[in-house]
Structure 1
């Protein structure tokens, strides 16, 4: 991950019209050839559980209950567990995002009950209910006995609103007259001032929750304009009593034998008064045609499933759909300072919920493009929205730089997680090209090309200390970078491999100042030139050549190809150590390879980018296929098992990350080692615990045991699993 913990942490047609009204212009590809039905992909993720407290998570800030969201909504839901009778009739939650941080609003805010003759019916009278997740919806099925059944389905209709449809069916021989009602209560945070933020309000069509203004930088952020609101299609009456409420349908419903009735309602979460007004109109449109929205949503998800399973062997398709559900649940629509829809790292980890990271975005867009190319484009735009320009009043020297992370709040609004003190490795041109391959949208290339070129220029202006064409990771001129150690830390974050041994201060890593010709301070560099950074830059230049050709700029394309060739040549001639058979960072002062810091997975990057010679690739392949090095129980640890600095559980000092596994596998395939890649892919998928079952896709895994580590439901893992599953280069 990348600067992933905040500074205070100790380590860190009519149908088309309906879709547009619903805020879903980011449409799916056509659902032409779905290999299996939606029910074949039921429960690819275990989404069952009921929260016990408002604050999700444990000491590691992880939420143990996986949830479902869609369309970029900022709230999500889970299913109760079978046997949890206190939760029957409702969906767990919602989990809502207080601008940047996730909180449970309720155990189950809208629990439905049915009555007959003044008696509440037992939802489990006919047996244990069935609760299941299917692509794009949560489903509950109840047998009430004596010929009555109840089915609840939750889908997202817009980027702020979930639609719940409750079908009551009479399969008996006599007419039945039923009343309907709903109830729920708040889960209040334990500590002030967030404890007093939510308050219940009755409305004409249901019930709402208003939120007071709270500006707790590291825990809870609201502006006092947020609202969660339940709106019923049919007339209802609501009474509020403290933290609880009861809603009753105004009239009973009589069901003839064989007849069914739908109770429909929406649940919306909005941030501003303008959003609330817009969403009220959208909710009315949804409730005027709920079946049309349900049908459109199901068609969209069939397209999504087709996109991620195409070319994937049958036995791996459930894992592909799990990746899909992970990415969609982590999708957040534009809000606050996030100007375009994007995919956050994980709704299940406190610090990864309300923001976007550059490196993550480049990788996530590649996977997302398989099922929603427009969303992939939007994700890339969301980062380039904040590219520094020469007109910047505070950092014009960083024109072209893309900040590491942007969140709902920038520092001027009290945000603590926004990060401009470093950037991230330039994989953006690769990402843009891969999205273009799926979308065919040449206008996207024309839009991004000058931004990508400016990003390249920044690296060589601000991060090439000795102007030799090999760049270094570094740090910006920023108030947070106020010491040598803080600059070294920011530079390590800029690599994305935050605590990798090669950046250890105790091994001699330090920083140097970079200045313009007139002596003006531009920023700082590590005193080492990094192999992964320069391989990425060479690849970035090659993709810029492709983009320039595609948009009709052949002269510029030729220059980019020439530059890419020169950068690749420097990587293979200066950064490969023949004695070690591996690529390494090199010392800035004398160009010596830093072999004393051990072999890291970054040494495989030149195979992926094509910088290595065939002979060099053969030696790297030997390391990658050696069980004592990188072919561990779960292959591709970030540090070789043979390294004295290897630690199987320590973030970037040993755990397996799927992005670098993808790089290594693709690199092997590039140089013709397909059999090796196939075998190692099998080990990877079989060894990572829970990956092929219903457990969440993890941020990383222990290479020796396969145990899941760090954040669950992690987006870039899900994204790059997709090409791994299909065996693509």
Structure 2
């Protein structure tokens, strides 16, 4: 891709950089810049710390020679322009910001300007910009302290930031015209969410969001890798490698890999998470013994997709050894009632923390987990046949055995796959009951009932579909996380399930409706209201897996039929 093409895609992405839902940042940087009044405010991005606790500058305002605030007139991935470019704010490497005159001082330049800023402790400071000091640099330390100094390299620093972003956008997938602008923004999201984890050898993690989700969650990594593969398969493999790098001795994979270690049991939960669980009335906040925390087994599915983009056989064999042990762990250590169908021992291990299927006692037998385990064993069987390094028949036999147990959750009278709370049936009708489509092994009559449920306005047939809880369910809420809003990742899995279950036209239709939702909603938010298609009030913006899966769906929809 040419530099001009990359610049065009960067400009398309810039149209979404409102500094409210999408902050100004740089790949690998922990600095975030948001709009604030006449200027901006600055935060750092830290694991398990809210933005309000990570304040660097409460306000930074640029003024002209007359003392009037210069408005923000344009935002590009590499620069914020004030006063039509009279002054620009950019990065001077990942740890510093630079603010300077947009042109070298001369007859056509603004000549002078000033920068005012306020620190979190209320201290106000000011710097003049002119011929002798055309720019000021703000170096942000790990403790959020700031050191300022005059800078003579502002133009070079901004140009370096532009070059970095142009290199990133040169990898952006080219898709259908009606999806290209949002694809560019989603590609920006993935680049913006790159952070370094110094404790892991400066590893690059594409985090779910620099706003509140600064770590590598296991299944987020899988979804993000699926999108990244279309432009940066090396970085996609790096996400899988990080997610699979820290198995326990018995094969369990951790829920989160972060800069301070891993989150693999309830003993590792941050205090804020424990308090949230207590407020929800959950007894799991303070278990009598550590509860393993992991995420659904989608690793082999993601690995297969990443390898489709770029083969890496030797590397894949290393990852498969870890995935096989993880799959065995589910059956050996998470079949808590010893009936042959593993359970979730903690809501966090499902990824759908707030789903009503977890309102009852634990452990929870859930149809989505059964479906993922069947699909993963089938993927592992295909890998075993491809590489000749494992027993494919053993994986297929276990998949069939798990499918038998999964089908026992089918309630033919209601037309749903039921969950069970500590052995007792759960009445809730949720999106997890659609996940058995992923197996591609359901009886035709069951598939037909699930397909009908997707169109049923009393269940999942909302204007913007698929809600995570059926609209007719007493637990449905159009705004509350996993209790009704639409999530891009569950939609993408249903698309996969429809395709695997012999309904490619319906799969394509749902893919079209999902990308239309993201475009309509204004970006790849964490979750969406199923009636309005807008961002749900409490949803995070610029969300990693929503961006990645939008790209994956857009690429698929842009391919010629049959590709």
TM class, shorter-length: 0.7 to 0.9
**Partner residue in 2 for 1:544:** 380
Structure 1's 544 and 105: CA in aligned 2 closer, same or farther, altered over 3 A? Answer: same
Partner of 1:95: 43
Q: Secondary structure at the match of 2:349?
A: helix
Higher fraction of strand: 1
Deviations 1:519-544 (A, max 9, x none): xxxxxxx2x53211111112222233
The superposition leaves residues 639-667 of structure 1 with CA deviations (integer Å, 9 ceiling, x where unpaired) of 21232332333332222211111112232
Q: Which residue of 1 aligns with 2:73?
A: 131
Alignment-derived partner of residue 205 in structure 2: 342
Listed as ranges, the matches of 1:155-194 within 5 Å are 156=91, 158-162=93-97, 166-168=101-103, 178=111, 182-188=115-121
| 1:714-725 correspondence runs (5 A) | 714-725=543-554
- Find the aligned partners of 1:165 and 1:440 in 2 and give their Cα distance: 46
Which structure's CA Rg is the greater one?
1
Question: 2:402 maps to which residue?
Answer: 567
Q: How far 1:367 sits from its partner (Å)?
A: 2.0
* Structure 1 position 466, deviation (Å): 5.0
1:553 equivalenced with 2:388 (yes/no): yes
1:576 aligns with 2:410: yes
- Give the aligned partner of residue 67 of structure 1: 23
Residue 462 of structure 1 deviates from its aligned partner by 0.7
Instruction: Rate the CA distance shift 1:403–1:338 in 2: closer, same or farther, 3 A.
Output: farther
Helix, strand or coil at the partner of 1:699: coil
Aligned equivalent of 1:447: 318
Distance, in Å, in 1 between the alignment partners of 2:154 and 2:109 is: 25
Higher mean C-alpha displacement, 465-474 vs 416-425: 416-425
Structure 1 counterpart of 2:224, from 350, 364, 370: 364
1:8 aligned partner: none
User: What displacement does 1:677 show?
Assistant: 3.8
Counterpart pick for 1:384 among 244, 258, 262:
244
Task: Answer yes or no: is 1:623 the counterpart of 2:453.
Answer: yes
SS of the counterpart of 1:644?
coil
The question of whether the paired residues in 2 share the 8 Å contact of 1:498 and 1:652 is answered with yes
Instruction: Call closer, same or farther: CA 1:150–1:339 in 2, change over 3 Å.
Output: closer
The one-character-per-residue Cα deviations of 1:611-670 (angstroms, maximum 9, x if unpaired) are 323332222111112222111121111121232332333332222211111112232233
Equivalent of 2:170, from 303, 307, 322? 303
CA distance, structure 2, for counterparts of residue 575 and residue 33 of structure 1: 55
The C-alpha deviation readout for 1:379-404, integer Å capped at 9, x for no partner, is 33333343222xxxxxxxxx211222
How many angstroms does 1:561 deviate by?
3.7
Partner of 1:78: 34
Q: Which aligned pairs between 1:627-646 and structure 2 lie closer than 5 A? A: 627-646=457-476
> Match of 1:105, SS?
strand
Aligned-partner SS, 1:630: coil
CA RMSD of aligned residues (A): 4.1
Q: Is the 8 A contact 2:47 2:215 kept in 1?
A: no
Partner of 1:329: 192
C-alpha spacing 1:33/1:672, structure 2 compared with 1 (3 Å): farther
1:630-669 matches, within 5 Å, as: 630-669=460-499
Residue 158 to residue 429, structure 1, CA distance change in 2 (3 Å):
farther
Q: How far does residue 301 in structure 1 lie from its aligned partner after superposition?
A: 3.0
Structure 1: gaps (5+ residues): 1-29, 49-63, 144-148, 189-241, 254-262, 390-398, 475-490, 512-525
1:712 to 521, 528, 540: 540
The number of residue pairs the alignment matches comes to 531
Structure 2 CA distance for aligned equivalents of residues 159 and 323 of structure 1? 21
Asked if 1 retains the 8 angstrom alpha-carbon contact of 2:7 and 2:169, the reply is no
Alpha-carbon spacing, 1:671–1:36, altered in 2? closer, same or farther (3 Å): farther
Structure 2 partner of 1:316 = 179
**2:56 maps to which residue?**
105
Shift of 1:459: 0.9
Where does residue 301 of structure 2 map in the other structure? 430
Of 83, 88, 104, the match for 1:142: 83
Task: Give the secondary structure class of the aligned counterpart of 1:424.
Answer: coil
Q: Distance in 1 between matches of 2:396 and 2:496?
A: 22
CA distance in 1, matches of 2:348, 2:484: 17
SS at match of 2:102: strand
CA positional deviation for 1:724: 3.2
More deviation, 332-341/438-447: 332-341
- 1:133-167, Cα deviation, whole Å (9 max, x unpaired): 33x32331535xxxxx725252x564434566643
d(CA) in 2 for partners of 1:251, 1:700: 49
Of 242, 246, 251, the residue aligned with 1:400 is: 251
Cα deviation code 1:379-436 (max 9, x no counterpart) = 33333343222xxxxxxxxx21122234444599995469974222111222233223
User: Quick one: structure 1 residues 114 and 683, their matched pair in 2 at CA, closer, same or farther if it must change by over 3 Å?
Assistant: closer
Look up the match of 1:243.
Answer: 123
What SS is found at the alignment partner of 2:532? coil
1:445 and 1:176 map into 2 onto residues whose CA distance is 56
- Given the superposition, is the C-alpha separation of residues 42 and 603 from structure 1 closer, same or farther in structure 2, using an over 3 Å criterion? closer
In structure 2, C-alpha distance between the alignment counterparts of 1:251 and 1:33, rounded to whole Å: 32
CA distance in structure 2 between the partners assigned to 1:608 and 1:726 by the alignment: 21
Which structure 2 residue ranges, 5 or more long, are not aligned? 275-290, 558-562
> Following TM superposition, by how much is the alpha carbon of 1:557 offset from its aligned partner in structure 2, in angstroms?
3.9
Q: Pick closer, same or farther for the CA change 1:588–1:605 going to 2, 3 Å.
A: same
CA contact (8 A) 1:44 1:693 kept: no
Asked whether the equivalents of residues 13 and 188 of structure 2 are also in contact (C-alpha less than 8 Å), the reply is no
Q: Is the 8 A contact 1:409 1:418 kept in 2?
A: no
Note the alpha carbon deviations across 1:85-134, whole angstroms, 9 max, x for none: x53xxxx232213554223322445x56676xxxx68686xxxx562233
